[in-house]
């Protein structure tokens, strides 16, 4: 790719503080930071060569999505301290963009989405590449991407453990 053909970097656009759900947006971001405290899995991995650990991202991605949904719904009082969103819950959308939606239980109203990307700390790439492009037409300002680094408990075997998620708005980093 030449400098002339390189697209312009995305311009960050966050929800306006005047948006009626802005406090929810901030609270969900804060709640996502607690993932390492609550993450639990019965998955145990052994017999994989260290050079192949990166291939576990697909398997662990499903576990991560399930645990994020479970965790966020369990700590509802963190992101909904006043009970304003009692009719909403986080749901997983396997194989669909975004991975997790905060939606009305009865109906299809969605307040925000979260795209989750697991990343092994022993990955061949020095930093996650995400390998896809996002267009503003496909997401809302309040949608988030969470890059969640993980390791195995015994370095090359054991149960997966996650470290603090790095959050960004779709249209640019924090």
What values do phi and psi take at 121, rounded to 5? -65, -15
Per-residue pLDDT of the chain (174 residues; tens, 9 = 90+): 687 888 777 677 789 999 999 999 999 999 998 888 888 888 788 888 877 777 777 777 888 888 889 999 999 999 999 999 999 999 999 888 889 999 999 988 999 999 888 777 766 666 666 655 556 667 788 998 888 887 777 777 777 777 776 665 544 444
Domain ranges within the chain, ordered by starting residue: 22-173
29-38: b (≥16 Cβ within 10 Å) or e: bebbeebeee
* Per-residue pLDDT at 172: 44
Rg over alpha carbons for the chain, rounded to the nearest Å, is 17
- Sign of the CA dihedral with 92 first, then 93, 94, and 98 last: negative
HSE-up (13 A, CA, CB side) for residue 115: 20
What is the rounded average pLDDT for all residues in the chain?
82
């Amino acid at each position: 790719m030449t400098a002339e053909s390189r697209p312009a970097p995305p311009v960050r656009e966050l929800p306006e503080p005047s948006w009626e759900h802005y406090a929810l947006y901030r609270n969900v971001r804060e709640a996502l930071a607690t993932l390492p405290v609550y993450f639990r899995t019965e998955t145990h991995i052994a017999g994989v060569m260290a050079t192949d650990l990166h291939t576990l991202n697909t398997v662990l991605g499903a576990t991560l999505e399930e645990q994020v949904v479970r965790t966020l719904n369990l700590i509802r009082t963190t992101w909904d301290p006043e009970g304003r969103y009692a009719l909403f819950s986080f749901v997983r959308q396997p194989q669909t963009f975004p991975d997790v939606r905060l939606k009305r239980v009865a109906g299809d109203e969605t307040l925000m989405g979260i795209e989750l990307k697991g990343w092994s700390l022993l990955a061949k790439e020095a930093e996650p590449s995400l390998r896809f492009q996002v267009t503003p037409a496909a997401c809302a300002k309040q949608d988030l991407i969470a890059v969640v680094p993980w390791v195995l408990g015994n370095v090359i075997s054991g149960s997966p453990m996650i470290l603090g998620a790095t959050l960004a708005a779709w249209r640019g980093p924090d």
